[in-house]
Chain A
Amino acid sequence: QLQLQESGPGLVKPSETLSLTCTVSGGSISSSSYYWGWIRQPPGKGLEWIGSIYYSGTTSYNPSLKSRVTISVDTSKNQFSLKLSSVTAADTAMYYCARHVARIEVNWFDPWGQGTLVTVSS
């Protein structure tokens, strides 16, 4: 079955760029039916959508993070990636990647990766 796995540094210094990769297995990231998304969850808090990407490279970002976020896709590796620039302690969170069904009036995420904790600290 489809599985997603996040990878990347667990510690990032303030003002630097957070970089994570999500590897998709058990299915093709080039499927025409799905987007691929990033969601984060600060410790003890709720979920926040960061953004999503289609295999063609079309992106959709949360306006509150848009100025700092870049999501890219590498179909040859079946991976998509997140870059978040100028991080602060407020960006400390568990970061999840997930397959995103996004159509008119429809949005849901399934399945999710296990998540990776990123701490912003000097």
Chain B
Amino acid sequence: QSVLTQPPSVSAAPGQKVTISCSGSSSNIGNDYVSWYQQLPGTAPKLLIYDTDKRPSGIPDRFSGSKSGTSATLGITGLQTGDEADYYCGTWDSSLNTVVFGGGSKLTVL
């Protein structure tokens, strides 16, 4: 059971928008920046969003991040079949003194 809670699965049609939530507490998301990772099937995770809402070079602006209180959200617009992947949120937990990740959300583009 992960410290950060994500929906196990989300789905949407090509071209549509989807959001993936990541719920935590005051000792993690409420106090620290959040990162998001995309893991395509059979590959290593790839940084998608850092510092809650910043995109690394090369990540299209279809991907966005935000935070409100103790929850963070990853948004993906203009969905493509190539976006089908597992998505993970991550941050530091000051009570546990460890990096924590969400359990992951599997995105299906119908």
Which residues of A pack against B, CB within 8 Å?
37, 39, 46-49, 62-64, 96, 101, 105-115
Contacts and interface: CB of A to CB of B under 8 A. Distances in A.
Tell me the interface secondary structure of chain A in the complex. strand
B59 to A, nearest CB: 10
Nearest to B88: A47
A4 to B, nearest CB: 9
A49 B44 contact: no
Q: How large is the interface on B (under 10, 10 to 19, 20 to 34, 35 or more residues)?
A: 20 to 34
A96 B98 CA distance: 17
A114 B96 CA distance: 28
B63 interface: no
Contact of B35 (A48, A108, A112, A113): A108
Contact of A106 (B51, B97, B101, B103): B51
B46 to A, nearest CB: 7
B102 A63 contact: no
B98 A49 contact: yes
Interface string B2-30: 10000000000000000000000000000
A81 B88 CA distance: 25
A25 to B, nearest CB: 16
B8 to A, nearest CB: 10
Given A49-B98, A112-B47, 6 more contacts: A46-B2, A47-B45, A49-B99, A96-B45, A105-B92, A109-B90
A62 B56 contact: no
B91 interface: yes
A46 B44 contact: no
A14 B110 CA distance: 43
Which 7 A-B pairs have CB atoms at the shortest separation, nearest pair first? Answer: A110-B47, A49-B99, A108-B35, A108-B50, A47-B101, A112-B44, A105-B32
A111 B47 contact: yes
A63 B96 contact: yes
A114 B98 CA distance: 23
Nearest to B103: A46
A101 B100 CA distance: 14
B14 to A, nearest CB: 27
B44 A96 contact: yes
